[in-house]
Amino acid sequence: MTNPRLKLGVAGLGRGFMLLLPTLASHPGISLVAAADPRSEARQQFREDFDASTYAEVADLCADPEVEVVYIATPHQFHRKHVELAAAHGKHALVEKPMALSLEDCQAMINAMRRANRWLIVGHSHSFDAPYLKAREMIDSQAFGKVRMISAFNYTDFLYRPRRPEELDTMQGGGVVFSQAAHQVDIVRLLGGDSVKSVRAVTGSWDPARPTEGAYSALLTFNNDVFANITYSGFAHFDSDELCGWSGELGQPRDPDQYGFARAKLAEVDSPEQEADLKNARTYGSGFFLSNSRPQDSTHNHFGFVLVSCDNADIRPMPQGVQVYAHTRRYLEPLPPPVIPRREVLDELIGAIRNNQQPIHTGEWGMATMEVCLAILESAQNGHEIKLSHQAIMP
């Protein structure tokens, strides 16, 4: 007898939910049974799409006896409160990255789920993507020797996509460190194979109209002597998808002739209120719904350029597979195209809850990633290396 579908309730029907919606709707192990969101149009759309219960308050969603696990896709600053609500009602939780905005909040979330004896999974981040998991599997085979160095960079238009005011305020979780470094740090931690020992970083905030970090560069040293260079820019100039065959972050084909689109669209906005309205027009229930969010992925998700240097080869996870640059030849270890995009997130969640399989992306894992992100900000502000003490490694 197969396991019954996992009954999932969604807290927050915003952009995070929209990105995972095709996966949630297509995965054979998931049943969407409820959702909470303050926007009436989003609740109405969810009822139409899934014939499910909806609530204006997350507390009411967590109290719903039909819900087994709460997918928390609310703004960053509410993650702790909503995880604690889920735990209080005996629910498992899948919480979007970043896990929280402080280590204190991360630890409180871990403690709450431990007391409830429920699973806490942090994701999705791009470390769930098949090319990175395949690269980790290849490293574990020991065919390429030890990992020595990792280089990762990603250049996007992140800072010039429509934003609410708090998304441009670092103190409220805005900027690229909280929203984007969590992806990149997760990836290099997965591939590095040990805990991070220290961080030395700088950040860039170069546009007074977007007063938060739009770029960072950091050196991470690991306890196994691996080191990783990570760089991100969201200033909408160079686009590193050019180096990935114009395959987008979500696996979609990119059109290089759309260069400058984000900045041009934003130039039409006259006020923060207009910009918030523009963002809201891209959300669930306001132009987006189940029938027009079907997956269009032709390749796997990715997060820019990543290169792992080992003793016997360099390994590059790519949208189509893993490219190997060995001593005397180069070759691609191909991956079949994704049938359900981002399904690895839900596979890990279901494996933990239904089969008690140890997940990678636990609360402890998420807290370790947040410690690195916070260290990037601290190092950039104070100009010195930050030693870490709350690290977890892959099981």
State how far the Cα of 365 lies from the Cα of 165, in Å rounded to an integer.
29
Q: Is 254 exposed, middle or buried (0-12, 13-18, 19+ CB in 10 A)?
A: middle
For range 317-336, the mean pLDDT? 97
pLDDT tens per residue across span 130-177? 999 999 999 999 999 999 999 999 999 999 999 989 999 999 999 999
Q: How confident is the model at residue 296 (pLDDT cuts 50, 70, 90)?
A: low
CB 97, CB 122: distance < 8 Å? yes
What integer is the mean pLDDT of 96-105?
Answer: 96
In whole numbers, what is the pLDDT of the chain averaged over residues?
94
Domains of the chain by residue range? 6-125+342-370, 127-339+373-387
**What is each CA distance from 371 to 81, 122, 145, 196, in whole angstroms?**
19, 14, 29, 10
Cα Dmax for the chain: 61
- Mean pLDDT, residues 196-221: 97
Alpha-carbon distance 23 to 30, whole Å?
9
Secondary structure (3-state) at 82: helix
pLDDT category at 260 given cuts 50, 70, 90 is: very high
> What token pair was written down for 39?
């926007």
Phi, psi angles (nearest 5°) of residue 60: -70, -35
Q: What is the pLDDT of residues 63-93, one digit of tens each?
A: 999 999 999 999 999 999 999 999 999 999 9
Report CA-CA distances (Å) from 43 to 64, 150, 169.
Answer: 16, 43, 28
* CATH entry, 127-339+373-387, from 3.30.360.10, 3.40.1440.60, 3.40.309.10, 3.40.50.300: 3.30.360.10
> Do 6-125+342-370 and 127-339+373-387 show the same overall fold?
no
Is the overall model pTM greater than 0.85, yes or no? yes
pLDDT exceeds cutoff 60 at 317: yes
Q: For the domain bounded by 6-125+342-370, which CATH number is listed? A: 3.40.50.720
**Angle between the 79-88 and 103-116 helix axes, to the nearest 10 degrees?**
10
Eight-state DSSP code of residue 267: T
